[in-house]
Structure 1
Amino acid sequence: MRFRRLHSTCSRLLLNETASHLKAELPRTKLAGGEPPAKSAKVSSSDIVQWNRSITQHMRQGECDSALSLFNSMPAKSSVSWNAMLSGYLLNGKLDLAQKLFDEMPQRDLVSWNIMLSGYIKNKNFGAARILFDQMPVKDVVSWNALLSGYAQNGYVDDARRIFLMMPVKNEISWNGLLATYVQNGRIEEARKLFESKDNWPLVSWNCLLGGYLRKKMLAEAKVLFDKMPVKDQVSWNTIISCYAQSDDLEEARRLFDESPIKDVFTWTSLLSGYVQNRMVDEARRIFDEMPEKNEVSWNAMIAGYVQSKRMDLAREFFEAMPCKNISSWNTMITGYAQIGDITHARSLFDCMPNRDCISWAAIIAGYAQSGNSEEALHMFVQMKRDGGRINRSAFTCVLSTSADIAAFEFGKQIHGRLVKAGYHTGCYVGNALLSMYCKCGSIDEAYDVFEEIAEKDAVSWNTMIIGYARHGFGKQALRQFESMKEVGIRPDDVTMVGVLSACGHTGLIDKGMEHFYSMARDYGIVTNPRHYTCMIDLLGRAGRLDDAQNLMKDMPCEPDAATWGALLGASRIHGNTELGEKAAEMIFRLEPWNAGMYVLLSNLYAASGRWRDVSKMRLKMRDTGVRKMPGYSWVEVQNQIHLFSVGDTMHPDSKRIYAFLEELELLMKQEGYVSATKLVLHDVDEEEKAHMLKYHSEKLAVAFAILNIPSGRPIRVMKNLRVCGDCHTAIKLISKIVGRLIIVRDSNRFHHFSEGVLWSSVLWREILDWLLLPVWPKRMTVTVCQEERSYTLKFKHTEQNGRKPPCLKNPWKEKNVAFGVCCYGGKHMFFNFSMFAKPIPAVTEFVAQLQILELLDNAIFTAGYKAVLYIHAIVEECEMLN
């Protein structure tokens, strides 16, 4: 932190030079008694200096109106009087008043121009600053330095350099300013060359470059520079000690610490922080005990050290003993308790905090999420919004991850809207979390839209998209993404290849999978790990090539883990190879005797073969070893609420309605040829009882509830904590066909998309939506479309480019009555939401729909701005005619 202050000090020298120039012009007369005159005091009209000093005093105290009153009362004003008022307005952040006063000045001297120039720069109004600079009749080195400072402090390094080279005269402040600019922006090599181009640098410049080497961890260069320094002060010693401490060379850091002629609290803290960073908290404690003086940084460093080593009892001891706790102390303790799963203590501290910042909220939200209490994590996020807390990227990322874990899709979309408002949605860190949320919530199209919007995609972005496509069963799209990833120069890593191999497995591309597997080491230098072999065993096993799968396992450079044997067991169950399945299960039980899922998988294999005695043995073995089968449950989100179902659940308020609807569906399913897969039941009972046991699985209950409560046209997304059984897979496929709905089910392994019966109506709904949104397709609009069944989300930007032609020119719902809903949101600096929902439209008045949407769109563009990016979402539903 202190090195950043050092660098900023170098830059501030440029702007402070203007103030010093003004101060040099002020007469050195002191006020009587050292106080400004009272408002009612009479001041001699001849003593202009007294008036000027009174104005300055009022401005320093923020009394702009009093200063103006005095200024207007002056019988005569000097240039210093005008400059005092001008400088005072800028000091109090009143740029508009300063600009007005500057325009009214009868005469402007060089100081006036420099003050106004610095005012524009401090307010980041570089356009006005450059115009004013060009208008200046005379420029001195202060003028040039002010402009240089403006570009430097805001990261315009090349512009700052150009100004520096154009300067007719340079002083020490000019050189220091450019040097600090290079250092602050990480351009250390240019800083070094500049430093070597000139002799007789002041000590602050030596320290500035030394701090730059520290930030880049250039230890050797820092040591060479330190040894060359003609004079060293306390900052020099502290910087070099920190450099070695942060580079894990604690022995050299300690030697330099002992050599340091003077040690202040920052010297001690630099060494202490180095030990903490290297997890040597006991040595850090000894340093702490020796310190003659301690500050908040040293106390917080010790607390952080104990938190990192999970010694929360000692961390709490230090926290309680700390004489003055700051918000960082509280946040560190909350994070520490959350990381060890002690959410009770974390919440207790959170509730006791005198003040909270965004890090406090992010820590407690993450604590609840990590402890598995996702609902409370989301509740805390909502509470933070209600309390007016500022939401940072960490909080957004944590909440998005939590939404993904429980598949709270609608809540996640609301978070997306807030991200758009905050301007975080295109950043890589938050963008990747948003991308993952959509993938895990079953909306792969919206995930791709987010992927396209990420400004600078990294390997995580590409991997998330590839794995997302693979888990959704879209293997070919995943492989296309893989090829695109390589084309843009992103090197695949081991995670990428897991996604690629999974994609090949889900689409049965055996040869392609083998090709990618053997290219990992050859083309990308990736060392294969058990996850890659598990994907390959799954790929070969699904294809029935069990011998090849076993041979591949024998060639593994390491011992197969439980997941690899599990893939072989799963393949044995699919192809009914009981002998091989028993062998795989025996190895799994040795590695993970607590893995209940593998007991169930082997039991399924026995049950399918009619070996009920072995099924009973598995049940007894589980009981004897204390292994309990995880209960299966499914959930679905409806109107921002999660509805949870277990097998045969009758506790839900709508259970009677759900069961009645399932009975109706079963009759319709049987007409389509449905027969219960009774061989999947792990109980030796008659066929009728087995069919009854399959009828009310949790995923069927969740699907039925969703159909009854989610408006038609919208996808249904159901999540399950275990794998979907074969009978439910067949049943939901038929249900999708019967009700004409897109149903997406996420289980512990992958996503299942059921769209049987949806395709027959998709053309009609596409035409209706195209026609309804006809006003969105003018020539001067670029449009990107993301379509779900019976709904659109369009991203468009009002531009000079040519867009698509209207896709449909006549009303496609001649014989239908349609209700429609539209909302528009977005904008660069704001978040707004125009929405409407119309009554069903008879065919004779359908044009009203377009007029209403056109009015909505015009309002949105007017509010957001001509070139803002907007999103419009539309949905249509067929309904009965209203009288």
Structure 2
Amino acid sequence: MRCAGTKRLEELCAQNQRTSFNVLKPRFNAAKEATFHSSTKRTQTQLQKPQSKSGGDEDIKQWNVAISSYMRNGRCNEALRVFERMPRWSSVSYNAMISGYLRNGEFETARKMFDEMPERDLVSWNVMIKGYVRNRNLGKARELFERMSERDVCSWNTLLSGYAQNGCVDEARRVFDRMPEKNEVSWNALLSAYVQNGRMEEACVLFESRENWALVSWNCLLGGFVKKKKIVEGRKFFDGMSVRDVVSWNTIITGYAQNGKIDESRKLFDESLVKDVFTWTAMVSGYVQNKMVEEARELFDKMPERNEVSWNAMIAGYVQGERMEMAKELFDVMPFRNVSTWNTMITGYAQCGDVSEAKNLFDKMPKRDPVSWAAMIAGYSQCGHGHEALRLFVQMEREGGRLNRSSFSSALSTCADVVALELGKQLHGRLVKGGYESGCFVGNALLLMYCKCGSIEDANDLFEEMTGRDIVSWNTMISGYSRHGFGEEALRFFESMKRQGLKPDDATMVAVLSACSHTGLVEKGREYFNTMTQEYGVIPNSQHYACMVDLLGRAGLLEEAHSLMKEMPFEPDGAIWGTLLGASRVHGNTELAEIAADKIFAMEPENSGMYVLLSNLYASLGRWGDVSKLRVRMRDKGVKKATGYSWIEIQNKTHTFSVGDEFHAERDEIYAFMEDLDLRMKKAGYVSKTSVVLHDVEEEEKERMVRYHSERLAVAYGIMRVPQGKPIRVIKNLRVCEDCHSAIKCMAKITGRVIILRDNNRFHHFRDGSCSCGDYW
């Protein structure tokens, strides 16, 4: 059965179908008029009741109640139909419509109705000011406020709260001081503004300026002490509270737990006379944050009731400890999972390298949010599945997933890893349109993408435009210039960073020493290394020592490099021995190379790169018997040489080449072009360096073998297909060989092209027959 109110409303609708409509026409747009007339015809066929132009106060009240009911349930169109059929409107009718539109996010419709009101009361003004505040248009809210002929405490509080909630604390204080009358809401709004913005001294002064604060105010200030990690002051304040509720206890318990004082937190937990599910959860979360997962689980099992936060905290504890089996057990029995639960599990599996299980859960999710997409994209990226990460990013956009800073950052990081410059540029454009470009988090990801994709000029342009640059921004640029072979420019950035007042950290000094190494600035490198502890408080770690060994080794100072390794405060790792081995190969020091190789083979018996370095040295000296012995040793230990390949991106498509590639669709055209190019290079004076060939074959065969190395094929294809005037960007997964380095210099000279080659160690910028490395690599 229908209720009496509904029946009465139908009667009123029927009585007023044909009245008051002409008055409405000027006030609503054509679209709303069309909607109205259409609904009127339907109503006329449904309700055949007597018609009247009358409407008493009690009837108007029922109409207003119906409007409010529809608006509360998000049914704006039905509310409008009721409003349009009313015989007359009171200010309450208008106010119900305006507040309803605001509640349902239809701000512009609410504003238009407010502007068209024949008469406004105090509530109308207050509702609209609140609408502007919610819409974060404080200027318009203030303008409306100043136009009011009369104001009540609600008007003042609405404006005060608007400023407070948007961090405009000083403006909020000025409004507060102007108020002719203040109530609890006024005082609490200003107190909360001070607390939320970390201005605890002013909050305390305000708190002490009056008595009889409500308990909620005491809890607000206590929360401020905890948020600012002022746990001593917070405890003193807590002890001075004459009345405490469960929120008070939860706040102080959480404060001690978050500051690592878990024993004191537990003591307070045990003393608490009132505990709710949040008290228990605060203690469980505290144990998890302090990596005391067993204690957390013991308390979790004793909880009289649990909520989503409790379950998520316990699962997160297992995830952080990489105990995914335990996390999965809880996940499977959890009675109510939310999107955060799924995200935690996906992140956990991805961080443990089990990206397939992460994707399996991702596919089963009933609902995804931006964090879900970002976690899965980051998982693919961190596990080396760059192309899958980018495909997922594209899928997210197609399915209407909301992009956030984290998903953009992960996608940019992936572009950097797979050197997808064109896609990275497209993402940059999307960031600008989405308003995400400003700020360090995304800005630094963009810098890294441009640096790793070989576009150091774009990186520099972006750096100059960035606001709020941090130490990571500077480190990225210093490291970028260093890897691109522009060591002196890197050092200029370093000096500029210091002039800006930023203190160098560990990563800064690694980048600086690397710049010295790549540029051959031995004395400058020694100076930085010997003074960085005293000047910047940076204690040398293995990376700094590796840079110094590399610096000395490249300069041929092998014995000094070896002596430095002996003086290290810790044992050299495989990376440092590998650096010495590489330098020994370049300078032909077999004895030191064999010492380094023996150390590496003991530490990293499956490191194929070190076998290749030593084999290169033997081959360059014509010691083919030793080369053969190394190959047998590799075979016996199951060590396989990493396959070298190079790739180039042209029009968003990646073309990959291996040595002597036979699979590219345009191979015949490529090889014909290379034959012609080879003749032009020889006329220009190029001579093959066949010593890089690790096979005991005839010289002519060696020339043929080096001619079709993967990087040379990729460069040749770039010359064929990349438009004149644009740089050719090629990436190789291994170190570029000496002969290819010489050949590409010649290619750049005879074709007039700029060629940028990134190998596994650094960038080479080839232009007019020379390279940015100065042949010092």
Q: By the TM > 0.5 criterion, same fold? A: yes
State whether structure 2 residue 673 is matched by structure 1 residue 679: no
253, 257, 274: which one aligns with 2:286? 274
CA drift at 1:70: 6.3
* Match of residue 428 from structure 2: 416
State whether structure 2 residue 126 is matched by structure 1 residue 155: no
* Match of residue 796 from structure 1: none
CA drift at 1:228: 1.1
Q: Is the 8 A contact 2:749 2:768 kept in 1?
A: yes
598, 618, 639: which one aligns with 2:610? 598
Q: Is the 8 A contact 2:486 2:519 kept in 1?
A: yes
Q: Is the 8 A contact 2:748 2:766 kept in 1?
A: yes
* Match of residue 30 from structure 2: none
The 1:71–1:399 alpha-carbon spacing in structure 2 relative to 1, beyond 3 Å, is: closer
CA distance in 1, matches of 2:572, 2:116: 83
CA distance in 2, matches of 1:705, 1:487: 45
Q: Is the 8 A contact 1:473 1:752 kept in 2?
A: yes
CA drift at 1:735: 1.0
CA distance in 2, matches of 1:74, 1:375: 61
* Match of residue 453 from structure 2: 441
1:280-429 to 2 correspondences below 5 Å = 280-429=292-441
The 1:579–1:272 alpha-carbon spacing in structure 2 relative to 1, beyond 3 Å, is: same
CA distance in 2, matches of 1:346, 1:233: 42
* Match of residue 218 from structure 2: 206
State whether structure 2 residue 70 is matched by structure 1 residue 61: yes
Structure with the higher fraction of residues in helix conformation: 2
CA drift at 1:543: 2.1
CA drift at 1:463: 0.3
* Match of residue 52 from structure 1: 61
The 1:89–1:303 alpha-carbon spacing in structure 2 relative to 1, beyond 3 Å, is: closer
SS in structure 1 at match of 2:353: coil
* Match of residue 573 from structure 2: 561
CA drift at 1:639: 2.0
CA drift at 1:389: 0.9
State whether structure 2 residue 441 is matched by structure 1 residue 470: no
Q: Is the 8 A contact 1:244 1:252 kept in 2?
A: yes
CA drift at 1:446: 0.6
* Match of residue 119 from structure 1: 131
* Match of residue 38 from structure 1: 9
**Structure 1 unaligned residues grouped into runs of 5+:** 1-31, 760-883
- Post-superposition Cα deviations, 1:77-107, rounded to whole Å, max 9, x if no partner, equal 6655554455445444454454455455555
Q: Is the 8 A contact 2:745 2:769 kept in 1?
A: no
The 1:590–1:85 alpha-carbon spacing in structure 2 relative to 1, beyond 3 Å, is: closer
- Post-superposition Cα deviations, 1:465-515, rounded to whole Å, max 9, x if no partner, equal 000000000011101110111111111111111111111122222222222
The 1:451–1:290 alpha-carbon spacing in structure 2 relative to 1, beyond 3 Å, is: same
The 10-residue stretch of structure 1 (38-47 or 107-116) with the greater mean CA deviation from structure 2:
38-47
1:122-271 to 2 correspondences below 5 Å = 122-271=134-283
CA drift at 1:191: 1.8
SS in structure 1 at match of 2:655: strand
Q: Is the 8 A contact 1:740 1:758 kept in 2?
A: no
Q: Is the 8 A contact 2:756 2:763 kept in 1?
A: yes
CA drift at 1:571: 2.2
CA distance in 2, matches of 1:195, 1:397: 43
SS in structure 1 at match of 2:547: helix
Aligned amino acid, residue 245 of structure 1 = A
* Match of residue 758 from structure 2: 746
Aligned amino acid, residue 308 of structure 1 = Q
Q: How many residues align?
A: 728
CA distance in 2, matches of 1:282, 1:518: 46
1:646-657 to 2 correspondences below 5 Å = 646-657=658-669
Q: Kindly report the root-mean-square deviation, in angstroms, between the aligned alpha carbons of the 2 structures.
A: 2.4
CA drift at 1:534: 1.9
Q: Is the 8 A contact 2:659 2:709 kept in 1?
A: yes
* Match of residue 712 from structure 1: 724
SS in structure 2 at match of 1:127: helix
CA distance in 2, matches of 1:652, 1:67: 66
Aligned amino acid, residue 57 of structure 2 = I
CA distance in 2, matches of 1:399, 1:69: 48
1:18-97 to 2 correspondences below 5 Å = 37-41=8-12, 47-62=56-71, 80=92, 83-97=95-109
- Post-superposition Cα deviations, 1:152-178, rounded to whole Å, max 9, x if no partner, equal 111212211221122233222111001
Q: Is the 8 A contact 1:56 1:67 kept in 2?
A: no
* Match of residue 49 from structure 2: none
Instruction: Using structure 1 for the length normalisation, give the TM-score.
Output: 0.78
- Post-superposition Cα deviations, 1:815-854, rounded to whole Å, max 9, x if no partner, equal xxxxxxxxxxxxxxxxxxxxxxxxxxxxxxxxxxxxxxxx
SS in structure 1 at match of 2:729: strand
CA distance in 2, matches of 1:390, 1:455: 25
CA distance in 2, matches of 1:532, 1:166: 60
- Post-superposition Cα deviations, 1:753-795, rounded to whole Å, max 9, x if no partner, equal 1112699xxxxxxxxxxxxxxxxxxxxxxxxxxxxxxxxxxxx
* Match of residue 40 from structure 2: none
SS in structure 1 at match of 2:503: coil
The 10-residue stretch of structure 1 (418-427 or 173-182) with the greater mean CA deviation from structure 2:
418-427
CA distance in 2, matches of 1:92, 1:503: 58
The 1:690–1:205 alpha-carbon spacing in structure 2 relative to 1, beyond 3 Å, is: same
SS in structure 2 at match of 1:515: helix
State whether structure 2 residue 611 is matched by structure 1 residue 640: no
CA distance in 1, matches of 2:459, 2:103: 48
Q: Is the 8 A contact 1:397 1:430 kept in 2?
A: yes
CA drift at 1:190: 2.4
CA distance in 2, matches of 1:351, 1:752: 42
Aligned amino acid, residue 331 of structure 1 = N
SS in structure 2 at match of 1:40: helix
* Match of residue 771 from structure 1: none
Aligned amino acid, residue 191 of structure 1 = A
1:687-702 to 2 correspondences below 5 Å = 687-702=699-714
* Match of residue 44 from structure 2: none
**Structure 2 unaligned residues grouped into runs of 5+:** 16-51, 772-777
1:393-792 to 2 correspondences below 5 Å = 393-756=405-768
The 1:78–1:658 alpha-carbon spacing in structure 2 relative to 1, beyond 3 Å, is: closer
CA drift at 1:242: 1.7
SS in structure 1 at match of 2:765: strand
CA distance in 2, matches of 1:613, 1:68: 93
CA distance in 2, matches of 1:99, 1:673: 78
Instruction: Using structure 2 for the length normalisation, give the TM-score.
Output: 0.89
CA drift at 1:68: 6.2
CA drift at 1:323: 1.6
The 10-residue stretch of structure 1 (746-755 or 96-105) with the greater mean CA deviation from structure 2:
96-105
The 1:230–1:33 alpha-carbon spacing in structure 2 relative to 1, beyond 3 Å, is: farther
The 10-residue stretch of structure 1 (222-231 or 192-201) with the greater mean CA deviation from structure 2:
192-201
CA distance in 2, matches of 1:97, 1:337: 47
